[in-house]
Amino acid sequence: MKTATDTSGFEQHNHSHCINKALQEADLICQQKSLRLTPLRRQVLGYIWQSHKPLGAYTLLEMLAVSRAPGNNSRVAPPTVYRALEFLLEHGLIHRIASLNAYIGCCSPSDKHQSHFFICRHCNSTVELATPAISAAIAQSAKSTGFMVEDECVEIVGLCPQCQKINPDAAGDIE
């Protein structure tokens, strides 16, 4: 999982390694839990890992439609994609980015953890963070106010290193 000081998730790279690793981990997790990773669930997970940009359900629907074999006019219905996404979410293989109503692959699906993300406001590239201090601060604040946290997802919006290079004037906007 990425740490707060690791910006490698924002660098351009071949995503085939990310896809293969995610699918191997998904296969292993499903095998250990006696779950079924159907071809559609595999395909949706693969599409989600094609880039480090969150994808919405309707974008996934379009991608699935394009990937259909020539002559196969059957379309995947939205509920089918949502069921696949629910399965992947429930078993920690993906995360939901609430502010974008979109989904991104989980970097460490075998480890139970909270979701924290850096999201580039320009290109939508997203990096998952492993920063226990964020969860600790939330837990402490909740304890001091008597609030019971049921779920947490911290989304931090800004500019990735590449977008800062393209628009250096915008990099100083948030301080």
Residue 106 annotated as part of some ligand binding site: no
Residue 163 annotated as part of some ligand binding site: yes
φ/ψ of residue 11, rounded to 5: -75, 145
Residue 120 annotated as part of some ligand binding site: yes
Residue 153 annotated as part of some ligand binding site: no
Q: Which residues contact 15 (CB under 8 A, 6 or more apart)?
A: 49, 50, 51, 52
- Which residue is listed with tokens 């890992």? 49
- What is the torsional sign of CA 105, 109, 112, 118? negative
Residue positions forming the annotated binding site: 120, 123, 160, 163
Residue positions forming the annotated binding site for Zn(2+): 120, 123, 160, 163
